[in-house]
Structure 1
Amino acid sequence: MRKLPNAGLVVAEPTIALQRRVMIAATVGTVIEWYDFFMYISVASAISANFFSSDNPVWANVFALLTFATGYLVRPFGALVFGRIGDMIGRKHTFLTTILMMGFATVAVGLVPSYAAIGLWAPSILILLRMIQGLALGGEYGGAATYIAEHAPQGRRGWLTSWLQTSAPIGFTLSMLSVYFMRSSMSPEAFNGWGWRLLFISSVFPLAISVWIRLKLQESPLFLKMKKEGTLSKSPIYDTLAAWPNLKRVLIAMFAMVVPQSVLLVGAQIYSLVFLTGTAKVDPQIANLLVGAALMLTLPAMIFFGWLSDRYGTKIFVLAACVIGTMTYVPLYKALTFYANPALYNAQTAVPVTVAADPSECSFQFNPIGTTKFTTGCDIAKNALIRFGAPYSNRSEANGAIATVFVGPKAIPVGTAGQAPDVAAFTANLKQALEQSGYPSRADTNAMNFGMIILVLVALSTIAGMIFGPLASAMTDLFPPQVRYTSVSFSYHVGNGYFGGLLPAIATALQIATGDIYAGLYYVIIVSAIAFFLGLFWLHSPQAVAKIESNAAVTA
């Protein structure tokens, strides 16, 4: 057995003024880093048009979302690399490095030539830059959370670290507002052509502000004490992952806290934007403002739950969020559809669309580079419905049956027996039938209930905020300080990267494959339900967490 020195190292308690200064400095810097990271999703439609080729623009958008997910997937590796540096060299210099990496990658995205100019090199370079962003962010959150927590006394840690939790929503909102004002200042063609690039290139200015802020920070007093006494971990990655006592804490933090937080938060904030613009056909500028307004209104709730966690612990809020999310996500998204696009909501209820076809003719239409042609009747029918944004159900027919789309009682066959389908004629007939049945091509702004849309979005974000607000405090409490940076970062980014990061792409792909606009939400529901039972048995009371923190034994 090898023991890390006692985790309960004592240093002089920082003054209230210093605690506040540290919290503000760390939070502002993290806001800017999240702003850079989320800028991508705010211009996803322009990214898909510039960097991916597809017969179907919807699938190009899915591939753009998968590239967004790439930034999430590499975050755990950044957590290990920068967590190790942070636990061995220091908190301050490590997350100064991460902001510089993030800024470089963000500016570079705005300079990459398009698919039309350099072909497959364009998405390849874009993916590389997203990976650099993900690596940087992997080292950012754990460092900021650890830095604030090590300046905060017990009894105020939930309150102070909850302000850090607002950095992601604020960064996301700022990115959406930047996109909104840029879109408003030029034509859609200009924005999709070159305007979006200015947003990435101009991020060099907030980068400079963030670097200046972080240069003024001092190292964590707890880290300096461990360094002076020679009690730092010599192998933070080993002590985090190879020793069962701490690995158990990693698994508890990851699956009982981070994973449910991740799917609920991404489902509330990022996927809601994708859903509003792609499914409900809301104008992107309006959707950005609605989601941004809801996020800002939710911030006090996140801070409030962080404050409550100082008194009641985190477990009660994790379990409550999982239960509420499991029971309300589909109803809330149905309400979102009703208030954002009532014509679509009513049409799919009154005049359902069905694709009746031989199942052997139906493909999974994933074609991001535009090399595959979908020529069967079933594929032609689904391709057209995806383009028109019409939800549909599937019905199996006998082998060799002619694929037919039913819009209510009206049958629209894809061609005739013995002849190649006339795609143009079928598409025109389908479009006419959908329009006559009330399926809108765009959401009617005059019919939208903006107040209720914001209220639904606030409800979704508040559910996630029940976990997200106290999360940083709960995770930093769980791990001994010698491996805190590495353990917090790895737990957080694996849970977010491999569950929340893939949610927009998985949910959108499920929606397209099934025709059910709510199919992707079952991913959130299933993960939340599983996390409830894990949290019920794994999460501890505040007293038990304190006991775990003081026991820093690891297996050599």
Structure 2
Amino acid sequence: MSTNTAPNGTTPGPVATTAERRRVVFATVIGTTVEWYDFFIYAFAAGLVFAQAFFAPLGSNSILLSFATVGVSFLFRPFGAFIAGHLGDKYGRKLVLMVTLVMMGLATSLIGILPTYETIGVAAPIILVLLRIVQGISAGGEWGGAVLMAVEHAPSNKRGLFGAGPQTGVPLGLLLASGVMAVMAMIAPGDAFLAWGWRVPFLLSVVLIVVGHYVRRKVEESPVFAELSERREEAQMPILRLFRKHTVLVVVAALVFAGNNAVGYMTTGGYIQNYSTNPDGPLALDRGPVLWAVTGSAVTWLLSTIVAGWVSDRIGRRTTYLLGWVLQLAGVFALFPLVNTGNIGLLFSALALLTVGLGFTYGPQAAFYAELFPASIRFSGVSISYAIGAIAGGAFAPMIATALVSATGTTTSVTWYLAGMTLVGLLATLVLRDRSGIPLGPDHEDEQQVSPVRGLAKV
């Protein structure tokens, strides 16, 4: 970390070097990939295994309850976001990133050795839910720290690209999780997968967590927080300040993410995997090819996320988002008509098309959120907005989709649900002003305090 000297001889604060910036982006990508790998293998297992292994006595309702446990973790994301936001704004981004990584890894590894209902009875699903709650708390605290480390280290004209780094943790986590699950479906097919094959991806988390912890330990603290710390200007009660002055902004920002998250959880939440492979369902496809199709779509999501971050540095975050909502809506209307053909190639095409829109409504999010909130309460602002958006969007999307198909007998109802959520995100984006390139440091808090919500003045 170096410092620049202003013309009057003062030192405005630490500035990240090029090598440090690269190291930070690499560390945030690795860390968020590990976190989301852990989070997604639970969702995949919920769609493929947990209904039989932990909720079998509930019969036909077992899959609904299994998907409900995916959503339960989202209810605890705000709790994790509140804690992480407070700690991150007072003690730094790096501390939070280390703690959340270890929490997520331990919970995931313990799920991998958890006995089933057949072995320990009702204690099995209870412990499973408790471990999922720990995952939710960890996920709620992870994202804000990772994106701020990347964006606050970035040059002002490359925040979208740098911020897309930790955003790629979602498609990379999806790629890794679905790929490992697909490999295990080959190594341990049929009953062997249900008996023990699903556990291996959970236990692999131990190795990933060691790698992620080592990489993150090497990075420098965010230069924005370092400057706040040098001036002793860390917010004393950041969450209270956030809601006293920026409640409307938090709600609108949350709705932006909800529009992306509800659609994304059709795959990351395990719904498409369960719908297409359910032996009692209309398609009854083999598990392995479906998992490989999801793995392939993670690549298109990864690429579109990076491209969207880069594009947002050139045409602005808001314009990039608006383009993304249009692409996402097209993907939503194509999804089930292609999936319902029962053809694996068309199923992959449906997911690939959908993920292009998802990438363009996710890639700019890190920079977009960071530029919305003042420096002293930024960690709290981005974390809590993200967590609330996750509840409103993806928390129960797989369960809602399952219930809609059960009630209507058609996936058309799910299409309209996803289209509605996409429009929510679009409208929320239209309400916000573009603040691409706004200074992020504590010297510019007055400028940052001006609300980006249209119709609101300085708060």
Matched, 1:227 2:124: no
1:11, 1:334 → 2: CA distance? 55
Match of 2:257 in 1: 258
1:114, 1:481 → 2: CA distance? 47
Aligned AA (1:263): A
Task: Show CA shifts across 1:489-523 (max 9, x none).
Answer: 11111101332121011101111122113322222
Match of 2:4 in 1: none
What is the CA-CA distance between 1:308 and the residue it aligns to? 1.1
Q: CA distance change for structure 1 residues 513 and 216 in 2, over 3 Å: closer, same or farther?
A: same
1:512, 1:481 → 2: CA distance? 47
Task: Show CA shifts across 1:96-121 (max 9, x none).
Answer: 01111111111111222211222222
Task: Show CA shifts across 1:168-221 (max 9, x none).
Answer: 111122111111222211242222112322322231111111111122122122
- Which of 513, 516, 540 is the aligned partner of 2:433? 540
Matched, 1:550 2:447: yes
Q: CA distance change for structure 1 residues 549 and 160 in 2, over 3 Å: closer, same or farther?
A: farther
What is the CA-CA distance between 1:51 and the residue it aligns to? 0.6
Aligned AA (1:552): Q
Match of 1:421 in 2: none
Q: CA distance change for structure 1 residues 283 and 222 in 2, over 3 Å: closer, same or farther?
A: same
Task: Show CA shifts across 1:26-58 (max 9, x none).
Answer: 11011011111111122222211111024634x
Contact 1:88 1:233 in 2 (8 A): yes
Q: CA distance change for structure 1 residues 258 and 23 in 2, over 3 Å: closer, same or farther?
A: same
1:301, 1:267 → 2: CA distance? 18
Match of 1:275 in 2: 275
- Which of 161, 165, 168 is the aligned partner of 2:167? 165
What is the CA-CA distance between 1:314 and the residue it aligns to? 1.9
1:264, 1:187 → 2: CA distance? 29
Aligned AA (2:277): T
Matched, 1:516 2:410: yes
Match of 1:3 in 2: none
1:10, 1:70 → 2: CA distance? 44
1:273, 1:466 → 2: CA distance? 23
Match of 1:61 in 2: 63
What is the CA-CA distance between 1:531 and the residue it aligns to? 3.0
Aligned AA (1:19): R
The SS at the match of 2:56 is coil
1:215, 1:331 → 2: CA distance? 44
What is the number of equivalent residue pairs in this alignment? 434
Contact 2:20 2:219 in 1 (8 A): no
Aligned AA (1:251): V
Contact 2:371 2:435 in 1 (8 A): no
Task: Show CA shifts across 1:456-489 (max 9, x none).
Answer: 2111011111110101010011111211111111
- Which of 290, 294, 303 is the aligned partner of 1:300? 303
Task: Show CA shifts across 1:325-360 (max 9, x none).
Answer: 44552333202222xx1xxxxxxxxxxxxxxxxxxx
Aligned AA (1:41): A
Q: CA distance change for structure 1 residues 543 and 20 in 2, over 3 Å: closer, same or farther?
A: closer
Task: Show CA shifts across 1:419-459 (max 9, x none).
Answer: xxxxxxxxxxxxxxxxxxxxxxxxxxxxx352x43222111
Contact 1:302 1:469 in 2 (8 A): yes
The SS at the match of 1:113 is coil
1:92, 1:543 → 2: CA distance? 25
The SS at the match of 2:338 is helix
1:221, 1:328 → 2: CA distance? 39
1:470, 1:548 → 2: CA distance? 22
Match of 1:151 in 2: 153
Sequence identity of aligned pairs in percent? 30
Contact 1:269 1:461 in 2 (8 A): no
Matched, 1:285 2:288: yes
Match of 1:489 in 2: 383
- Which of 310, 314, 323 is the aligned partner of 1:311? 314
Aligned AA (2:210): A
1:529, 1:545 → 2: CA distance? 27
Contact 1:149 1:161 in 2 (8 A): yes
The SS at the match of 2:413 is coil
1:506, 1:493 → 2: CA distance? 19
Task: Show CA shifts across 1:369-427 (max 9, x none).
Answer: xxxxxxxxxxxxxxxxxxxxxxxxxxxxxxxxxxxxxxxxxxxxxxxxxxxxxxxxxxx
Match of 1:502 in 2: 396
Aligned AA (1:198): V
What is the CA-CA distance between 1:84 and the residue it aligns to? 0.7
Q: CA distance change for structure 1 residues 208 and 328 in 2, over 3 Å: closer, same or farther?
A: closer
Q: CA distance change for structure 1 residues 55 and 101 in 2, over 3 Å: closer, same or farther?
A: closer
Aligned AA (2:83): V
Contact 1:98 1:137 in 2 (8 A): yes
Q: Which is worse superposed, 458-467 or 315-324? A: 315-324
**Greater relative contact order (Cα 8 A, min sep 6): structure 1 or 2?**
1
2:108, 2:436 → 1: CA distance? 43
2:225, 2:58 → 1: CA distance? 55
Contact 1:507 1:521 in 2 (8 A): no
1:331, 1:225 → 2: CA distance? 48
Any unmatched runs of 5+ in structure 1?
A: 1-8, 342-447
Contact 2:254 2:386 in 1 (8 A): yes
Match of 1:73 in 2: 75
The SS at the match of 1:262 is helix
Q: How does 1:4-23 map to 2 (within 5 A)?
A: 10-23=12-25
Contact 1:263 1:527 in 2 (8 A): yes
- Which of 112, 116, 124 is the aligned partner of 1:114? 116
Match of 1:333 in 2: 336
Match of 1:320 in 2: 323
Aligned AA (1:250): V
1:541, 1:295 → 2: CA distance? 29
2:359, 2:436 → 1: CA distance? 23
Aligned AA (2:165): W
What is the CA-CA distance between 1:12 and the residue it aligns to? 4.4
Contact 2:301 2:358 in 1 (8 A): no
1:530, 1:195 → 2: CA distance? 39
Matched, 1:466 2:360: yes
Q: CA distance change for structure 1 residues 126 and 106 in 2, over 3 Å: closer, same or farther?
A: same
TM-score (norm 1): 0.74
1:508, 1:545 → 2: CA distance? 43
Q: CA distance change for structure 1 residues 287 and 478 in 2, over 3 Å: closer, same or farther?
A: same
Matched, 1:123 2:114: no
Aligned AA (2:250): V
Contact 1:74 1:134 in 2 (8 A): yes
Contact 2:317 2:436 in 1 (8 A): no
